[in-house]
Amino acid sequence: MSSLDSGARHMRRQCRSQESEASNLHGSGRRGDHTLQALPDRLWLSEANSSDWAVRRQTGRYQWLPILILCIFAISLAGCVRPPRPLPPARANDVVAEQNQSTPRTIYIQPLESLRAQPLGARRVRKEAVDEAASAIEATYKVKVVVLPTKPLPDAAYYKPRRRYRAEKLLSALEGMMPSGEDKIVGLTEVDISTTKGEYPDWGIFGLGNMPGQACVVSTWRLSSRKSQQIFRKRLGKVIVHELGHTFGLDHCPVRGCLMEDARGRVSTVDRETGFCESCRKRLREVLR
């Protein structure tokens, strides 16, 4: 075999190989169509890894996204352009609402005991007195009552000539014992207390309260009853409600039997009291509402 024949056979083999490749590329219509249809699939698969959302949008999976964005924008725009709500009409009880800002949330009971030698020995505050005070305050004023730990009566309030305590000085001390400046405090003691009343420089009293104010003080010394403990408890409750009434701004009342009646040193006046008169009740309601 000559080299020329060999070269000719080699060229024929190359031609058959090119014809075979051309047949694979363009071959039948079905194979060619399949190849062309598969191209976008491969494109999508390759682009799916590129996180190009624009290409994903062409697939139809995120066609709802622009609609959602438009909805959110429209809702927020509507909120911005909504006309302001009209102010509520002025109420007749706006004045009462202002007064309510000073209404106490809590009334504290501060038991005050004496460690000094008293005519009847050292005076501690009995639990039954504290319990009666708490129940009377809760029932009348509908507020929270907190009993503070017992403290000794302040020396500065002691009135040596009569061996008792000056009530107005106790009020000053009690204001300093109050946990919160927004509330009220009731000092409760079983020793005698006094204050200046008219022509009497040192007048023994049941209790005293700042009007209006935050502090009042009550003594059980003149409220005992030989008849029954029940009478004592009633007297104590009435006097505490009376003194707290002063702190809420109520003055003495001329109506016989009203809790704000001036006892003038007579316990019989306390015994005849039955409750607040209509006028005092109305004033108190306005303060406590």
Q: How far is the CB of 152 from Zn ion (least distance, A)?
A: 26
Q: Which stretch binds Zn ion (CB under 5 A): 80-88, 123-131, 145-153, 259-267?
A: 259-267
Which has the closest alpha carbon to 234: 202, 259, 264, 204? Answer: 259
Count of residues binding Zn ion (CB under 5 A)? 6
Give the integer Cα–Cα distance in Å for 136 and 132: 6
The two structure tokens encoding residue 202: 């040192």
Q: How far is the CB of 192 from Zn ion (least distance, A)?
A: 17
What does the per-residue mask of binding to Zn ion show for 261-280, with x meaning CB under 5 A?
A: ----------------x--x
Indicate whether 258 belongs to the interface with Zn ion (CB under 5 A). Answer: yes
Is 243 an active-site residue?
yes
Q: Which stretch binds Zn ion (CB under 5 A): 39-47, 51-59, 188-196, 245-253?
A: 245-253
Of 255, 266, 275, 282, the residue at the interface with Zn ion (CB under 5 A) is 255
Residues 14 to 73: which contact Zn ion by CB under 5 A?
none
Q: How far is the CB of 86 from Zn ion (least distance, A)?
A: 42
**Concatenated DSSP letters for 157-226?**
GEEGGGTEEEHHHHHHHHHHH-S-TTSEEEEEESS-EEEEETTEEEEEESEEE-SSSSEEEEESTTT--S
Is residue 253 within 8 Å of 260, Cβ to Cβ? yes
H/E element, 88: none
- Report phi then psi at 70, rounded to 5: -65, -40
Indicate whether 250 belongs to the interface with Zn ion (CB under 5 A). Answer: no
Active-site annotation holder among 19, 132, 175, 243: 243
Q: Which residue number, 44 or 203, has a Cβ lying nearer to Zn ion? A: 203
Indicate whether 167 belongs to the interface with Zn ion (CB under 5 A). Answer: no
Q: How far is the CB of 102 from Zn ion (least distance, A)?
A: 20
Q: Which stretch binds Zn ion (CB under 5 A): 115-123, 143-151, 210-218, 256-264?
A: 256-264
Q: How far is the CB of 238 from Zn ion (least distance, A)?
A: 11
Of 260, 273, 283, 284, the residue at the interface with Zn ion (CB under 5 A) is 260
H/E element, 27: none
* CA-angle at 208, arms to 205 and 182, nearest 5°: 160
Indicate whether 217 belongs to the interface with Zn ion (CB under 5 A). Answer: no
What sign does the dihedral 272-273-278-279 (CA atoms) show?
positive
Radius of gyration of the chain (CA): 47
* CA-angle at 288, arms to 285 and 289, nearest 5°: 75
Indicate whether 253 belongs to the interface with Zn ion (CB under 5 A). Answer: yes
Binding site for Zn ion (CB under 5 A): 253, 255, 258, 260, 277, 280
Supply the residues annotated as catalytic.
243
